[in-house]
Amino acid sequence: MIITARPTLARMLAAGIALGSAAAAAAPPTATPTAPPAGPLPALIPREAFFGPPDRTGPRISPDGERLAYLAPHGGVQNVWVQTIGAHDARPVTWSTKRPIRRCWWAANGEQILYRQDADGDENHHLYAVDLDGDPAHDLTPMDGVQARLVAVDRDHPDEILVAVNDRTPRAHDVWRIDTRSGEGTRVLENTRGYTRFLADATLTVRVASRTTTDGGEVVHLRDGEAEPWYELVRWGLDEAESSRPLGISRDGGTVYLLDARTSDTSRLYAYTDGPDGPSYARIAGDERADVARVLFDPGTRRPQAVAFDHARRRWRFLDGGVFADWATLRRVADGEPSIVSRDRDDGRWVVAFERDDGPIAYYLYERAAREATFLFVERPPLAVASLAKMEPVTITARDGLPLVSYLTKPIGSTGPVPMVLLVHGGPWARNRWGYHPVHQWLTNRGYAVLSVNFRGSTGFGKRHLNAGNRQWSGRMHDDLIDAVNWAVSEGVADPDRVAIMGTSYGGYATLVGLTVTPEFFAAGVDIVGPSHVPTLLDSIPPYWEPIRARFDARVGTAADGDLLEMISPLNYVHAIRRPLLIGHGRNDPRVKEDQSRQIVVAMQSRGLPVTYVLFPDEGHGFRRPANRMAFYAITEAFLAQHLGGRFEPIGEAVDASSARLEAGGELIPGL
């Protein structure tokens, strides 16, 4: 059975169609949810294994190659730990009691750890330094209401870093040079041009800066030194800007590396050099199917050694014969795709991650001279022995012929149509990738197939794919999702009467579009921090996003486009909703304000439509605290089981252990 998609909002309004009645008339028959087909499903894996804090993660090797810093729980909250390699002396060096630390770096002096942290999800991240002698961490950017971004750390400047801070004006980040030991800083670049990217050379001098142009493109400026004037290096239009950007500067300062999509559909790696014979712009590597996904730079010379392209799976092209030989060795070490996550100053020791689709990430210490790898740890040990499902890359053809690289995970042992969750990525200028995905594995373990689609507007697949999504919110971007579900039904993967849509940020918006534009198509929807009214979304973006507003105008739309922004706003079509809806939001979300969810909840309640709304007062754009994640996913799996018929772990005390506030519809969820 193939489900026919309902017309999009813009087409409906152009034709004068009443959304609710037309959609209902064309809807497929509904069915009472039943359990998935009997089969050898593995044991129910506790939510804690998927969404609790990882045992250890994010390892970074010290500059001298003797110690590891990594993130692990302390007092139930993710903190930074340090241990000597080969010893049993691991100890925490930070003591956060509420907000988990998500990433850390070694200072170049090897005696301090750097990390960023915000307050309850407000994204005003401050940059901290902690000495390894046991002293408390000190805030390197102690200004109120600012956001700090690490720009550069270099081995030749052990006690100094460059940090971008929007302390002078919320709209623009200036660059500061800060002493990590004393905390003293000097403003070295006053950002009066609205730059949004900075690159520094090995002397910690900002040499490259780029900004968004009035048409949504990007211009890159270069200077030869701190006292030298800026001049234009390259300019990209809207079509190329999302795929193109400056990447790095060689240690000798003579070469700038950039991703550039002006002369091809996909981005390619280029090197700009202004030598004695004049400037040159040389292409280094490219792929016809995918943009450059990652470039591996030599930490000594700061020149590229390998380039990765990620179409359905990641593929590397090696520029350095030594690294190629290392990779051949690493391929034999463990299952999964290797990836270098950290290197010491001499580049003799690497920390390598091995990523699988059906198991947690495993980390190894690799000794380059001996070509030997030693196991360090896996992120989530309980999942290393659990039965997890394989993720299958599939390419689905949209109705207009556009190929959509997608990822399907099916329950172990399933042999016929099962309930399915369409999991929509955020952004929308982002993408899905192959690998271990906790939500895929959690839902598959509960008996659902999970499908993630790189719909038009997703990044990584070239300009045509990205720009096909311009001004197509709720239009062809939604058609792609419908086409993907129809494919899953036609392939015998999905039961057409038991398909839910779920996503975060843009994925939450797509959920609301799914329940309003195609109100009978999905059996249920889960919206996490999704916008419901596009005009107020764009009016309330964070001030430091103002320099890139032109890109939103070009890719989404503006008030000057007539009623477009209203036409693509699900809030205006609440009356069409026919299916159950679960919404979660963080009160402090700076990107999608909390009233984006509250206003659609109020509108549904005023019409007597059932909706469950869960608010987290100590979260922002997504749920970072493990207790909050587990609470929302506990509610979600009970909700999905109620409407799709899958398995679920009882909610138990999960909600009580979190900050969740049930603002509406708690009585609609079993066990809540």
What gap in Å lies between CA 391 and CA 406, rounded to an integer?
A: 10
Q: Check residue 278 and give its pLDDT.
A: 85
Q: Which of 406, 505, 569, 659 is catalytic?
A: 505
Q: Is 461 exposed, middle or buried (0-12, 13-18, 19+ CB in 10 A)?
A: buried
Q: Which of 621, 643, 658, 659 is catalytic?
A: 621
Task: Report, in angstroms and rounded to the nearest whole number, the Rg of the chain calculated over CA atoms.
Answer: 25
What gap in Å lies between CA 398 and CA 659, rounded to an integer?
A: 41
Output the CA angle 163-506-437, nearest 5 degrees.
80
Cis peptide before 428 (omega within 30 of 0): yes
Q: Which CATH fold would you assign to the domain 397-423+498-668?
A: Rossmann fold (3.40.50)
Q: Check residue 277 and give its pLDDT.
A: 84
What's the one-letter identity of residue 203?
T
What lies within 8 Å, CB to CB, of 15 at 6+ separation is 7
How far, in whole angstroms, is CA 234 from its chain's centroid?
Answer: 28
What lies within 8 Å, CB to CB, of 98 at 6+ separation is 77, 618, 625
DSSP 332-398: TTSSSEEEEEEE-TTS-EEEEEEE-SSS--EEEEEETTTTEEEEEEES-HHHHTS--PPEEEEEEE-
Mean pLDDT of 473-491: 98
Backbone dihedral angles phi then psi of residue 177, each to the nearest 5 degrees: -105, 120
Residue 488 has pLDDT above 50, yes or no: yes
Residue scoring higher pLDDT (18 or 285): 285
Strands 160-169 and 148-153: antiparallel
Answer yes or no: CATH 2.60.120.650 is held by domain 55-155.
no
| Beta-sheet strands, E only, within 17-76 | 57-61, 67-74
Q: Is the pTM of this model over 0.75?
A: yes
For the sheet with 126-131, list strands across it: 104-106, 112-117, 126-131, 138-139
How far, in whole angstroms, is CA 33 from its chain's centroid?
Answer: 32
Q: Check residue 29 and give its pLDDT.
A: 30
What gap in Å lies between CA 8 and CA 399, rounded to an integer?
A: 14
Residue 621 annotated as catalytic: yes
Q: Which of 157, 589, 643, 658 is catalytic?
A: 589
- Give 1's pLDDT tier (boundaries 50, 70, 90): very low
Residue 606 annotated as catalytic: no
For the chain, domain boundaries: 55-155, 397-423+498-668
Strands 581-586 and 612-616: parallel
Instruction: Convert the pLDDT of each residue in 364-380 to its tens digit.
Output: 999 999 999 999 999 99
Q: Check residue 39 and give its pLDDT.
A: 60
Mean pLDDT of 394-417: 97
